[in-house]
Amino acid sequence: MATRSTLLKRRKQGRAFTLIELLVVIAIIAILAAILFPVFAQAKKAAKATTTLSNAKQLTIGFHIYSTDYDDVMPMTIQALRGTPSNGCGDWSDWYPGNEYVGILQTTYPYVKNIDLSWQAFQPKPGSLQTPMVPDPVDGVRTGTWGAWSKEETILPNNIALNVWDGGGCNIASRSLTAVEYPAELGVYMPVVGALQGLATWSSDPKDAMVDIDPWYNSSVCSGADTPPFPPVYAAFKAYNSSMPVGHADGHAGKIKSNAFYIKQGCPDIVNDFATKAYSSKLWGFYLQGYPINP
């Protein structure tokens, strides 16, 4: 008759896994991981897209409240002119230096009150970005009022939508929101994917940081557009699985598809074609007053 200690020993031995069983369990775990990890990656990417969409909506709501407070006048993407230019756009003495621009991030901050909303989730704000204000070379005073606070962001305003420009005399002004015929379709905030983390840039040089987007240069793409490098707005469109978040002038945020972009075979003169044709005018807007628009 087996003793009590012998029975306990047998029970303990019966609980052990064989090597084959362990290998089977490990194989099952590996298969499940191979299936689930891509799903987790897609879920993480979808969450970031939702974050960017939410940020664009909050910025657009702030933009809309700003316009309400200023008699339905939209905030300009940048405020860079000292006054009416004396010799046209070519006279750069009429412009403040780049580090003295006041960007839309500053002008709308009282209505948003969260700088982090100005960065899209795929390229978040990289710590501290500084844009020190310096004395004006003309009158010797500091024209900037924002100290060392950055004007950079990766969710940028659409300068064609927000600014009015005559194309020659450098008469740049804010656009009236009530003058927009299709505010629910006009895109005012769009994410940008640049060469540097947290900066909207064409190049790897932080001096090339963008403060707004120009749809002609940043959205127009040549045939074979699926081969990088992409223009910054189209690069964001590709990063968001060809469904990019956009904040619209009426205060809502949605997503745009590939038919919103101007993709041309050969690209002999893509910018001129975009400028002189009424292409996607409901989304991008059109600010060259007096320029002929061809069908």
Confidence of residue 290 (pLDDT cuts 50, 70, 90): very low
Ordered by start, the domain boundaries in the chain are 70-284
Taking 50 as the threshold, does the pLDDT of residue 114 lie above it? Answer: yes
Specify whether the CB–CB gap between 275 and 288 falls below 8 A.
yes
pLDDT higher at 281 or 246: 246
Q: How far is Cα 187 from Cα 214, in angstroms, rounded to an integer?
A: 12
What is the pLDDT averaged over residues 17-21?
77
Considering the chain, what percentage of its residues have pLDDT values greater than 70?
64
pLDDT tens for 90-102 read 555 566 666 667 7
| Closest to 250 in 3D by CA, of 68, 60, 112 | 60
pLDDT tens for 241-276 read 888 899 999 889 998 877 777 777 666 666 666 666
Which helix (H) or strand (E) segment holds residue 111: the answer is: helix 109-112
Provide the pLDDT for residue 265: 66
What is the pLDDT averaged over residues 211-227?
75
* Three-class DSSP category at 186: coil
What is the pLDDT averaged over residues 80-90?
57
pLDDT tens for 122-168 read 887 776 666 555 555 555 555 555 556 677 789 999 988 888 765 55
Specify whether the CB–CB gap between 55 and 119 falls below 8 A.
yes
Provide the pLDDT for residue 295: 46
Confidence of residue 59 (pLDDT cuts 50, 70, 90): very high
The rounded mean pLDDT for the chain is 75
Q: Indicate the pTM of the whole model.
A: 0.77
Q: How far apart are the first and last CA of the chain?
A: 102
Considering the chain, what percentage of its residues have pLDDT values greater than 90?
12
Taking 50 as the threshold, does the pLDDT of residue 19 lie above it? Answer: yes
C-alpha distances out from residue 153 to 12, 71, 103, 204, Å: 63, 26, 10, 16
pLDDT tens for 165-204 read 655 556 677 888 888 888 898 899 999 988 887 778 888 8
